[in-house]
Amino acid sequence: MKKLRLVFQFLILAFFLWLILGSAEKYPIKLDLFCRVDPLLALTVLISSRSFFMYSLTSLGIIIFTAVFGRFFCGWICPMGTLTEYISTKKNSNYKFNFSKFKYYLLAFIFSSAVFGLNISYFFDPFTIITRGLAGGLYPLIQLFVRFLSDRFYDFSSSGNQIMSDIFYSLSDKLTSSRILSVTQMPFDWFASISLFIVILIVCLSFAQKRFWCRNLCPLGAFLGLLSRYSIFKRNVGSFCYHCKKCTNSCQTEAIDREDPKKVLNMECLNCFDCQSICPKNSIGFCSKTKTTSADLDKRRLLISAGTGIALASIANIDKFGVIKKEHKGVLRPPGAISESKFVNRCARCASCIKACPTNALHHAFGEAGVSGFLTPIVIPKRGYCKENCNVCSTVCPTEAIGFFDVEDKKTIRIGKAVVLKGRCLAWVNNKDCLICEEYCSYVAIHHTRVKDSDAPIVNENACVGCGQCEFICPVDAIIIKPLN
């Protein structure tokens, strides 16, 4: 079983990385697949937004399997768990610190804040963390590296004999047309570096303690641990055990009691089968007749954690200090986005839509959408426009914060309106012939009128959807997109 788990883990990790490097336009399986099966993310979004979304039902499978088999998800499927398990070969026998209860207090903090209308799970959920870090941070670096190799091969193809020239040109062409460079180059900004650094930090903590993240910090692991407390599939030790304690020293989460190896803390057991494979008497099995112990949580710390979450949510919901109850008028949301008050709580901040956008129109919000809108996706036309025949962002949203729409309906979805700044426009101020905005408008929403001796652009508000193509292409920043609200 241990070898089977190893194969399964690396297949899942390889599949996850394949999704990271893939193009959402070309493949039916999207990057947000793992976020869709995340029960912690689904529950906190349901509670904080007070609304239901269909994708939340996909997490029921994980909940049911956990109730039957225990924390198999952490030990067999989670990509973050796989990275933190195999990055370090350090044994557990010399560990002198244990913060395994902290993740349960963190879970209480997250759920209490969600009950009072503030969703902060995206800060701590493993799938949003690793998706943001790899899709937003690692993927642009890989793109830069592949583009660098492609350019170097192209340079080499212009020198040397004909055979080597053809080989290098072929390599350059294959890299340029690969799936990694099949989309627009994603920018590697300071937030991308922070997101990638957080993932690297979590992985590096495994050098201090194996599976440090899973054991001490992961709120999803804490939630699944509570579900697995009464699971059917449990570790069982037979009568041949002579307390050699090899299983105790090999346990990744110290779920096995050091004094009595027959006792196990089922909330921490990952069903990894390491103890079974190392047992010299083959006396360890898994069945439903095992008596397990439960984590002795400090009720006072639980109350403090829950109270902190309630206090934070209360502050955020006060208009004077927070912004959850206040709709902002200065941001452009992706097409299909639900109302602002629900969007900030429904959005998982997983960056799936940002990574999937083929024109780099979507970016993380920092201060533009207020405190509650931190890290939510916004359209920044100066960096990229919303493509006319594209609905990718609506297909990769795991919480339906961006509602699905067909490409044919794109013309009826308005996110803003174009406004010509006549004081900057070359045609309006200097009487120069410049109608580049009219030429590039996919919706034929910009026309021209005669001003003195030249044609100047005007916007037909009934046809404009606020895609941002005109603002993106304008050489003098004379046209901007304003939100509808």
- The pLDDT value given to residue 54: 85
Alpha-carbon gap, residue 29 to 8, rounded angstroms: 19
* Whether the Cβ atoms of residue 307 and residue 109 lie closer than 8 Å to each other: no
Beta bridge partners of 363: 378
Q: pLDDT-based confidence at 108, cuts 50/70/90?
A: very high
- Helix residue spans in 228-298 (DSSP H): 246-250, 274-278
Alpha-carbon gap, residue 283 to 177, rounded angstroms: 55
- 233-247 tens-digit pLDDT: 878 787 788 778 888
pLDDT for residue 22 is more than 80: no
CA dihedral in degrees (125, 129, 131, 134; nearest 10)? Answer: -160
- Region 94-114 average pLDDT: 84
Alpha-carbon gap, residue 143 to 185, rounded angstroms: 7
Instruction: Find tokens 């026998």 and name the residue.
Output: 93
If we measure between CA atoms, which residue out of 32, 50, 36 comes closest to residue 118?
50
If we measure between CA atoms, which residue out of 49, 83, 43, 45 comes closest to residue 62?
43
- DSSP code for 451: E
CATH class of this structure's domain 414-485: alpha beta
pLDDT for residue 259 is more than 90: no
- Helix residue spans in 118-189 (DSSP H): 126-131, 139-156, 162-176
Two structure tokens written together for 380: 């920044």
- Region 109-118 average pLDDT: 92
Boundaries of every domain in the chain: 1-329, 414-485
- 417-463 tens-digit pLDDT: 999 998 899 888 888 888 899 999 989 999 988 887 788 899 998 99
% of the chain surpassing 90 pLDDT: 34
* Whether the Cβ atoms of residue 378 and residue 333 lie closer than 8 Å to each other: yes
Instruction: Find tokens 């779920």 and name the residue.
Output: 255
pLDDT for residue 230 is more than 90: no
pLDDT for residue 220 is more than 90: yes
* Whether the Cβ atoms of residue 385 and residue 437 lie closer than 8 Å to each other: no
The pLDDT mean for the chain works out to 85
Q: pLDDT-based confidence at 312, cuts 50/70/90?
A: confident
